[in-house]
Amino acid sequence: MSKKVIGLPGDGIGPEVYAQAVRVLKQLDEQFNLNIDLHEHQIGGAAIDLHGNPLPQETIDACRDADAILLGAIGGPKWEGLQGADRPEAGLLKIRKTFNLYANLRPVSLQESLSELSPLKKDRLVGVDMLIVRELTGGLYFGKKFREGDSATDTCTYSVSEIERITRLAFSIAKGRRNKVSSVDKANVMETSRLWRETVNRIHTQEFPEVDLEHVLVDACAMHLISKPSAFDVILTENLFGDILSDEASMLSGSLGVLPSASLSKQDPSQGIALYEPIHGSAPDIAGQGIANPAAMLLSVAMMLRHSLQHEESAALLEKAVFDSWNAGVFTADLSNENSVGSKAFTDSVLSNISRSV
């Protein structure tokens, strides 16, 4: 039975890194007989240009029948004058809401070959291996927004049920890791954070008492990510805090261009739609130059293979092929100022590593 994957190349460097992901996916499909049925559709600025809508109904209908969605990147200066639901980013928010993609998983670990790229000293980076579990369909991004005169308002809203489901996922994942959850909030000043903390405590006491739990205020977490990053295992947090903290944590590994992510609609990704994407943006300043780092996109493909397509062997092989390229000194321009390679050449190295390993 074939596995239907919907590709959404998007904007900026999105189509460039997506094209390299397709090359890798096709080779793995051939080598492992994965039987992947890949179709491409538009989202973001590209969809606005073609359809006048950042998430056309055609794209929604295609994704509804998919086993997984693979996204490049969204947005750029071309569409900066658009407002609200007309902006490219509105397409991403809408696809999250439409398919109930409530949980965003962002793994952060450090490969030895990239350790020199981190702004932190090496001794601070020993043992860094964390997973940020971010609630993705609530909070400020989805609350009511309005302007009145010279003031503007964004409302932050969370329900108990929204907090419960992301909390259960974080605790379940922690049981398979180092058994620790750091729940991040701002409970000293925000009512939504007080509800968040109360709910997390209840789920912990009633359902996951064997997992270690700590509560960390978001400002303290931001400091601890720099001062003692190896102390974190699973970081559980709401939408806005997770967005900011995961970008901060990406610097531990040296570049936004090396970290993947998954957005889930079900605790078991094979039972529902999941979206996979690099955490970097559309980087319009380098779009079209062929120098974008495709590593985060390729590692997002590996997450898709593992979680949605249930093929651990090809996922592990792809991850190893990316890491082996770095170990061999094959770096794109964001990782090295000397002898750097372009998007295609880096992917050529990854494909070569895959071929040698089979």
- As a CATH number, domain 1-104+283-358 is 3.40.718.10
- Contact at 8 Å (CB) between 128 and 287? no
3-state secondary structure 196-236: HHHHHHHHHHHHCCCCEEEEEEHHHHHHHHHHCHHHCCEEE
Tens digits of pLDDT across the chain (358 residues): 889 999 999 999 999 999 999 999 999 999 999 999 999 999 999 999 999 999 999 999 999 999 999 999 999 999 999 988 999 999 999 999 999 999 999 999 988 888 888 888 888 888 999 999 999 999 999 999 999 999 999 999 999 999 999 999 999 999 999 999 999 999 999 999 999 999 999 999 999 999 999 999 999 999 999 999 999 999 999 999 999 999 899 889 878 789 999 999 998 888 899 999 999 999 999 999 999 999 999 999 999 999 999 999 999 999 999 999 999 999 999 998 888 999 999 999 999 999 987 6
Catalytic residue among 29, 86, 212, 247: 247
> Quick check: is 154 catalytic?
no
> Quick check: is 247 catalytic?
yes
Catalytic residue among 180, 186, 266, 344: 186
Catalytic residue among 233, 243, 324, 334: 243
> Quick check: is 348 catalytic?
no
Span 149-190, pLDDT tens digits = 999 999 999 999 999 999 999 999 999 999 999 999 999 999
CATH fold for domain 119-253:
Isopropylmalate Dehydrogenase (3.40.718)
Span 311-350, pLDDT tens digits = 999 999 999 999 999 999 999 999 988 889 999 999 999 9
Which one-letter DSSP state was computed for residue 73?
E
> Quick check: is 243 catalytic?
yes
Catalytic residue among 18, 102, 141, 276: 141
pTM metric for this prediction: 0.92
* pLDDT confidence of residue 358: 67
- Contact at 8 Å (CB) between 43 and 95? yes
> Quick check: is 102 catalytic?
no
As a whole number of angstroms, the distance between CA 152 and CA 147 comes to: 4
| Sequence ranges of the chain with CATH classification 3.40.718.10 | 1-104+283-358, 119-253
Catalytic residue among 37, 49, 65, 219: 219
- Contact at 8 Å (CB) between 88 and 75? yes
